[in-house]
Amino acid sequence: MQNRLNKKIVNFMRLITLIISLGYASDCFAADAWYKGFHHRKKLTIDNTLVSGAADLTNFTILVSYTDTDLRTEANGGDVENTSGYDIVFTDSHATAPTKLDHEVESYNATTGQIVMWVRIPTLDGDADTNIYIYYGNKAITTSQENITGTWESGHVMVMHLKESSGTVYDSTDHNNDTSAVGVGITYSQTGAIGQGLQSSGAATSFVTVPDSATIPGGNGTAFTAMSVGLWIYLPDTHTGSKRWFTKRSDSDTTLRSWQLFMTSATNNEPDFGIYKAPNDNSGYYDTVTPNTTTIANDTWTYLVGTHSTAATKIYIQGVERGSTANANSTVRARNQIVTFGNDLVGYVDEVRIYDDTRTADEIATEYNNQLPANQGTGAGKFIKTLSSEETRGPLKGALITINGR
């Protein structure tokens, strides 16, 4: 009897060993290896048709914004462990050794599972879909896994999400171009194009101020030959007359001006982009570009970008180039002046950015396609066209269980 019992125990242990071995094997031969320590993951597929151009985009930061009940905390019926969403990370889809991607959290809602996060993609494929993974569910993680400054490649010198509820508005880059003042007439925590934004009343004091800096084109006596600026803007009503929406300039001294994204009195709701260039006087050294009969529609979010290079100054509206002027002189005038935005605006702003390079047409179009409110979320027609079913790592190492919904 004892020998028979021992034999059963031995056979049982062999069975357990076999199951564990198969578990390890399933991990080794899975299509994409598992990122250690996490219990759940889903694959996100980026729609190649919304990535502009055939060439790959390098170190391109995308918005990941959607609601998923699996991303609620466990207390709310989901699979995330940390109430701040710290145990949510992203990786590439490497078959054997997945790499965690740099990301920044703009917001996380533990009750609904809504995320608004930014992820830097080392290579965003220009002619095929790109896959990444979102991992979640790791009790060992109790601190933020973000690399905020690493999320934004070197061309970014100011990135403001305008997510703050009061006080200083912070720059996400490592240049720390934070605000020094937020004027009376600016209202925080308003619905933005992406998450939250700011509302401007149009009052004389209704603008946001960023101090002069050597990292900002035309700042601290440093001349630049390449730059870009951009923001999302929402106009509830038609704007008339001259408006200074986003500028680095003095109002009183015309020689103390570098650049401006603005509106002239010529046409209602028509944005323009202008560059003040060296030498430091007004003897014909101002290039301005006006869109080709393109204006901003009321009651809709509009993405405006101005770019400058040795070849031309351009303006883009909704991701499309709408005007260009050749440059007689390429150097942006260096003047120690503050940067302001929200000036003369009765409406809303979001995602205010400054670059020390010339954004390409493909980069601008892809940013627009990614950030457009209608393209946020997941599914057909969205930038993230597919969100896979949840995969759960079982109790045995390497054993994967696919769960079709909750």
**SS3 readout for the chain:** CHHHHHHHHHHHHHHHHHHHHHHHHHHHCCCCCCCCCCCEEEEEEECHHHCCCCCCEEEEEEEEEEECHHHCEHHHCCCECCCCCCCEEEECCCCCCCCECCEEEEEEECCCCEEEEEEEEEEECCCCCEEEEEEECCCCCCCCCCCCHHHCCCCEEEEECCCCCCCCCCCCCCCCCCCCEECCCEEEEEECCCCEEEEECCCCCCCEEECCCCCCCCCCCCCECCEEEEEEEECCCCCCCCEEEEEEECCCCCCCEEEEEEECCCCCCCEEEEEEECCCCCCCCEEEECCCCCCCCCCCEEEEEEEECCCEEEEEECCEEEEEEECCCCCECCCCCCEEECCCCCEEEEEEEEECCCCCHHHHHHHHHHHCHHHCCECCCCCEEEECCEEEECCCCCCEEEECCC
pLDDT of residue 136: 98
Using alpha carbons, select from 103, 192, 115, 210 the residue that is nearest to residue 152.
103
Q: What is the pLDDT of residue 406?
A: 40
- Residue 3: per-residue pLDDT: 57
Token pair, residue 31, equals 């299509």
pTM of the full predicted structure? Answer: 0.89
pLDDT number for residue 173? 98
Burial (CB count within 10 angstroms: exposed 0-12, middle 13-18, buried 19+), residue 166:
exposed
Q: Decide if 193 contacts 301 (C-beta within 8 A).
A: yes
Domains of the chain, CATH where assigned: 40-152+380-403 (no CATH), 156-356 (2.60.120.200)
Say what the pLDDT of residue 275 is: 86
Task: State how beta strands 186-191 and 130-136 pair.
Answer: unpaired
Task: Quote the CA–CA distance of 272 and 283 in Å, as a whole number.
Answer: 20
- Cα separation, 277 vs 353, in Å, equals 21
The Cα 227–Cα 157 span in angstroms is 10
The span from the CA of 289 to the CA of 275, in Å, is: 9
Residues 266, 357, 154, 348: what is their CA dihedral angle, to the nearest 10 degrees? 10
Other C-beta atoms lying within 10 Å of the C-beta of residue 59: 16
Residues of the chain with pLDDT under 70: 1-31, 254, 278-286, 328-329, 394-406
φ, ψ at 337 (rounded to 5°): -125, 150
CB of 256 closer than 8 Å to CB of 335: yes
Beta bridge partners of 227: 308
CA pair distance 82, 292, nearest whole angstrom: 50
Between CA 104 and CA 195 the distance in angstroms is 13
pLDDT of residue 194: 98
pLDDT score for 333: 77
Residue 329 pLDDT: 64
